[in-house]
């Protein structure tokens, strides 16, 4: 009888312990390599976790995020992914900034059958050519953002285009999509020059000299962070900007405008985030809560970090479990909320419909800002099912 009672008590204790165990999310990002984006990103997910735990957690359990810094290196990201899945026993993996790191983590997810929510990597390959059952992507892809920009680029009288993009997956994918989509809308355009600087090592003088030697009517730019600042400064000094129209991916994001300040090139057509001009209830609530917690205004990274966790939370609630196969099923077609409004993961390629803002750059009060902007709902810029089926492996759609 004593043995029965002891065994029963042990069983009850183990059940209680299991019920009290936190839901663990392993988060991997380039915190030390790209702090201007990843620090706001971290603050975004910290706010989301604080809110969900204050509301009672998920499935009666607290949510815990275990974060790791990949230092901008794929091998570091993989090392952390192994440690988080094998030692920490996380229920979900999330994160990634650079596209090559996102692809490495996606490959790990496929091999280990572990749900991976790619928050930031923009490469099309992560949901198409190298897509897999276990990887979902939050931000609008290079294809989607290129499609948003092409709508405006096609209206320009420019026929001769040149491109500047970092020489790795993100830049290559962005240029390929922009060329394909612009030529479809404007068969009369031609691409007369291209420059592929190594990420973080752009020589602005030689890059602009080579580009201008091709006598372009307009430029498509994909550089960001320090490379973008170098390009803008050199172009302003040479009088290239605003004389030559530029269409530029990401350049309207506060992460980069806060650095450019009064050097922001007027008239560039960009994707970005005019946080101070958006008056929807969802965004107003998010910005107020974010400012209250961190005493600063949000950036794109803040929104991405917050929305990444909102998507994961919605999937766990829908699945009623942290079992990875159940979570994958729940994620396909999942509807969730973001500070930009409602979004969902399209089942066929596991790409989110979260959109971006498209507008022009200007300088107001000595600071860069977006004007004449509109919100481009990602759902309107996704390619057709037939397009996806031609590029995504069949086994990834099972």
| Residues 35-50 pLDDT 10s | 999 999 999 999 999 9
Residues 6 or more apart whose Cβ sits within 8 Å of residue 395:
132, 133
Whole-number Å distance between alpha carbons of 237 and 46: 41
Q: Write out the residue range of the structural domain in which residue 374 sits.
A: 143-276+356-381
Residue 393, pLDDT score: 92
For the stretch 86-138, pLDDT in tens is: 999 999 999 999 999 999 999 999 999 999 999 999 999 999 999 999 999 99
Q: How many independent structural domains does the chain possess?
A: 2
Q: Residue 372: enclosing H or E segment and its boundaries?
A: strand 367-376
- Count the Cβ atoms, other than its own, within 10 Å of residue 34: 22
- Per-residue confidence (pLDDT) for residue 363, from 0 to 100: 97
Same domain for 183 and 107: no
Asked whether residue 34 falls in the same domain as residue 111, the answer is: yes
Q: Are 330 and 315 in contact (CB under 8 A)?
A: yes
The SS3 assignment for 66 reads strand
Is 50 part of a structural domain of the chain?
yes
Between the alpha carbon of residue 379 and those of residues 191, 216, 318, 376, 382, the distances in Å are 28, 32, 22, 9, 6
Are residues 242 and 344 located together in one domain of the fold? no
In a domain, 32, yes or no: yes
Backbone φ and ψ of 27, nearest 5°: -120, 120
- DSSP class per residue in 208-263: HHHHHHT--SEEEE---HHHHHHHHHHHHHHT-TTTS-EEEEEEESHHHHHHHGGG
- Is there a single domain that holds both residue 289 and residue 364? no
Same domain? For 288 and 228 the reply is no
Percentage of residues of the chain with pLDDT beyond 90: 93
- Residue 391 inside a domain? The answer is no
Instruction: Compute, in degrees rounded to 10, the torsion defined by CA atoms 80, 86, 89, 94.
Output: 30
**Do 267 and 315 sit in the same domain of this protein?**
no
Domain co-membership, 98 together with 147? no
Is 390 within a domain?
A: no
Within this chain, do residues 87 and 218 fall inside the same structural domain, yes or no? no
- Reading the block at residue 393, the tokens are 């492996």
- Cβ atoms of 116 and 134 closer than 8 Å: yes
Residue 278 has pLDDT above 90, yes or no: yes
3-state secondary structure of 395: helix
Q: What is the CATH number of the domain that holds 337?
A: 3.40.50.2300
Going by DSSP bridges, is the β-strand pair 356-364/367-376 parallel, antiparallel, or unpaired? antiparallel
Is the distance from CB of 170 to CB of 221 less than 8 angstroms?
A: no
**Tokens describing residue 40:** 């706001």
Cα gap 343→355, rounded to integer Å: 8
Q: What was the pLDDT predicted at 5?
A: 43
Note whether 197 and 162 are same-domain residues. Answer: yes
Q: Indicate whether 284 and 337 sit together in one domain.
A: yes
Assess whether pLDDT exceeds 90 at residue 14: no
Tokens coding 41:
């990103």
Per-residue pLDDT reduced to its tens digit, 204-263: 999 999 999 999 999 999 999 999 999 999 999 999 999 999 999 999 999 999 999 999
Antiparallel, parallel or unpaired: β 341-344 and 335-338 = antiparallel
* Alpha helices in 24-125, H assignment, sequence order: 35-54, 74-86, 99-112
Is residue 388, in this structure, part of any structural domain at all?
no
35 within a domain of the structure (yes/no): yes
Half-sphere exposure of 86 (CA within 13 A, CB side): 8
32 and 130 assigned to the same domain: yes
- Asked if 108 contacts 138 with a C-beta cutoff of 8 angstroms, the reply is no
Report how far residue 324's alpha carbon sits from residue 330's, in angstroms, rounded to the nearest whole number: 10
Shared domain for 122 and 265, answered yes or no, is: no
Helix, strand, coil content of the chain in percent (nearest 5): 50, 20, 30
Is cis: bond before 242, omega within 30 of 0?
yes
pTM summary value: 0.92
Whether 393 maps to a domain, the answer reads no
Q: pLDDT (tens digit, 9 = 90+) per residue, 288-320? A: 999 999 999 999 999 999 999 999 999 999 999
397 found inside a domain: no
């Amino acid at each position: 009888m004593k043995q029965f009672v002891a065994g029963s008590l042990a069983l009850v204790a183990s059940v209680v312990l299991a019920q009290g165990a936190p839901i663990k999310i392993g988060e991997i990002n380039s915190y030390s390599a790209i702090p201007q984006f990843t620090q706001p990103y971290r603050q975004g997910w910290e706010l989301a976790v604080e809110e969900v735990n204050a509301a009672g957690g998920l499935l009666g359990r607290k949510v815990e995020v275990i974060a790791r810094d990949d230092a901008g290196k794929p091998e570091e990201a993989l090392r952390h992914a192994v440690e988080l899945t094998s030692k920490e026993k996380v229920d979900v993996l999330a994160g990634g900034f650079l596209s090559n790191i996102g692809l490495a983590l996606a490959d790990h997810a496929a091999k280990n059958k572990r749900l991976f929510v790619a928050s930031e990597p923009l490469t099309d390959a992560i949901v198409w050519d190298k897509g897999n059952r276990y990887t979902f992507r939050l931000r609008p892809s290079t294809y989607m953002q290129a499609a948003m920009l092409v709508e405006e680029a096609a209206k320009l009288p420019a026929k001769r285009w040149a491109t500047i993009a970092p020489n790795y997956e993100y830049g290559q994918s962005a240029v390929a999509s922009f060329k394909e989509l612009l030529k479809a809308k404007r068969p009369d355009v031609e691409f007369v020059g291209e420059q592929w600087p190594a990420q973080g090592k752009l020589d602005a003088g030689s890059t602009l000299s080579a580009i201008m030697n091709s006598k372009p009517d307009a430029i498509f730019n994909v550089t960001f962070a320090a490379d973008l600042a170098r390009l803008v400064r050199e172009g302003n000094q040479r009088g290239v900007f605003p004389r030559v129209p530029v269409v530029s991916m990401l350049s309207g994001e506060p992460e980069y405008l806060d650095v450019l300040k009064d050097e922001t090139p007027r008239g560039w057509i960009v994707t970005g985030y005019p946080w101070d001009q958006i008056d929807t209830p969802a965004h107003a609530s998010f910005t107020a809560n974010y400012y209250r917690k961190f005493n600063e205004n949000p950036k794109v990274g803040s929104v991405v970090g917050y929305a990444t966790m909102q998507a994961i939370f919605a999937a766990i609630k829908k699945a009623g479990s942290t079992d990875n196969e159940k979570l994958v099923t729940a994620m396909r077609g999942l509807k969730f909320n973001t500070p930009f409004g409602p979004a969902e993961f399209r089942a066929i390629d596991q790409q989110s419909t979260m959109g971006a803002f498209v507008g022009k750059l200007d300088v107001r009060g000595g600071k860069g800002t977006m004007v004449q902007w509109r919100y481009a709902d990602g759902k309107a810029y996704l390619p057709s099912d037939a397009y996806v089926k031609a590029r995504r492996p069949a086994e990834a759609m099972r």
